[in-house]
Amino acid sequence: MSRQATLETLTHALPLIAPSMLKCDFGNLQRDVSLLETAGAALLHLDVMDGHFVPNLSYGPMVIKAMRPLTEMIFDAHLMISEPDRYLDDYLDAGCDCITFHVEAVDDPRSLLRRIKQADAVSGLALNPGTPVEALEDSLAECDFVLVMSVEPGFGGQKFLPVALDKLRRLRQMSAAGTMLSVDGGIGVKTIGEAAQAGANLFVAGSSIFDADDYGVAADELLTIAKSYPASSSTEG
């Protein structure tokens, strides 16, 4: 899918729940992908960890490439890795439609954001809970979306950090009209409403989806709550 087609698909689907594949059953990966597709998921959030930028290892381009033929859902690779520029082509070749990397992992994100867009993929930039939004200010014009971490990256199942709410509010004011705002970490029925009200419109959800008996019911419940807390300034559509 082209960058423009991906952006149009995402924009028309907002607000959107993005299942975090860190919490899937890797022993039944094909089954989980099929269940998520049946549940109506439009985007899979692929958590890539290198054991260096974050203190954990997950999976890399080989696993993503093996997943690619299983579905036409949009793949967003969240690169929680050092030197993301060095490995960009591997994730593009694996079939990722969106590439998100961390502002803390590079000296100047703008050149890598441009490379992603030149490769006809959607560009995303993430920041950790302890990183001020000013770190993104010079790069926002190159971002298709911004990912605010509401937990420390590296592990699933953590509690939502309220510091993310102020960052979302500020980024909604700072960002261009079409910039999507994503939030990742601790998103569930008790937290998604506040995140939506603060300006998020793309919600990464792990435990709240994969710990449920029915992925579709869980995602619909989250989406219903998110829609009931509209942001004061929204870019949807």
Delimit the domains of the chain by residue range: 3-227
Distances (CA, A) of 52 to 55, 143, 151, 157, 217: 6, 25, 17, 20, 36
- The class level of CATH for 3-227 reads alpha beta
Sequence-distant (≥ 6) Cβ neighbours of residue 103 within 8 angstroms: 109, 125, 126, 127, 131, 135, 136, 139
Q: Of the residues 32, 47, 50, 144, which is catalytic?
A: 47
Question: What's the pLDDT score for residue 17?
Answer: 97
Q: Of the residues 32, 50, 144, 184, which is catalytic?
A: 184
- Largest CA-CA distance found in the chain, in angstroms, rounded: 43
Confidence band for 156, pLDDT divided at 50, 70 and 90: low
Q: Which two tokens stand for residue 213?
A: 């008996």
pLDDT in tens, 190-218: 999 999 999 999 999 999 999 999 999 99
220 is annotated as an active-site residue: no
Whether residue 131 is predicted with pLDDT greater than 80 in this model: the reply is yes
Compute the mean pLDDT over every residue in the chain, rounded to the nearest whole number: 94
166 is annotated as an active-site residue: no
* Residue 36 CB coordination number (10 Å): 23
Instruction: Please give the helix or strand (H or E) that residue 98 lies within, else none.
Output: strand 98-102
> Using CA atoms, how far apart are residues 220 and 237, in angstroms rounded to an integer?
20
